[in-house]
Amino acid sequence: MPVVTYLSLGSNLGDREANLREAIRRLGELGTVRKLSSFYETEPVEFTEQPWFVNCAVELETNVSARELLNGMLAIEHAMGRERLQPKGPRLIDLDILLYGDAVMHEYGLTIPHPAMQERRFVLEPVNEIAPLAWHPVLSKTVSAMLAELRAEAIVRKWSRDS
C-alpha cells in the first residue's frame, strides 16, 4: 500500500538548482513525486561559515519501506557526488526523510519523524507550502502550527536565479 512521505532537499555547492532538480528526478525511481515546493534560499544554521543553501520539499508517494527509501536516498546522494567531510558542512546534495506516513521509528541511522524538523524554518517553510496540514505524529501538530510557533531564526526566502 502506498505511503505519502515528505522529504527535505538542500544544496549549497555547485549549481544548487540543477542539483535539486537532478535529485528530484532520481527520487522518481523510489516513488511518485506528487508535489514540489518552490525553491528557497536559506542561510546556513549551526555551521554558518559556508555558502547559502537552496532548499525545497517534496511529497513522494512510495511503495518502499522507510529503510529502503533511506537507502535509496543515500544512493542518490552518493551517485551525485556527495562527500561527508564535515558534519553540517557544505554539500552538493542533502536528502532527508521528514515524515513517512504516520510512522514513528527509532532505528540505527533512521529516525522518523525527523528529530529536528520542528526547529528548522528552512524545512518547515517549503513543507508548509505543499502540505500545511501534514501531521507530526509525535508532537501532534500540523506543519503550519509548528511553523507558526517557530522563533525567528535564519533567513529563508523564495529563490530564483535572478535574486
pLDDT for 142: 98
Catalytic site positions: 82, 91, 94, 96
Domains held by the chain: number: 1
In a domain, 163, yes or no: no
- How far is C-alpha 96 from the geometric centre of its chain's CA atoms? 5
4-to-42, 98, 121, 122 alpha-carbon distances in Å: 26, 11, 22, 21
Asked, for residue 107, whether it belongs to a domain, the answer is yes
We report the CATH number of the domain holding residue 118 as: 3.30.70.560
In a domain, 15, yes or no: yes
* Domain limits for position 38: 3-158
Per-residue model confidence as pLDDT tens for the chain (163 residues) = 899 999 999 999 999 999 999 999 999 999 999 999 999 999 888 788 889 999 999 999 999 999 999 999 999 999 998 777 667 778 899 999 999 999 999 999 999 999 999 999 999 999 999 999 999 999 999 999 999 999 877 788 887 765 4
pLDDT of residue 163: 47
Please state, in angstroms and rounded to a whole number, the distance separating the CA atoms of residues 136 and 132: 11
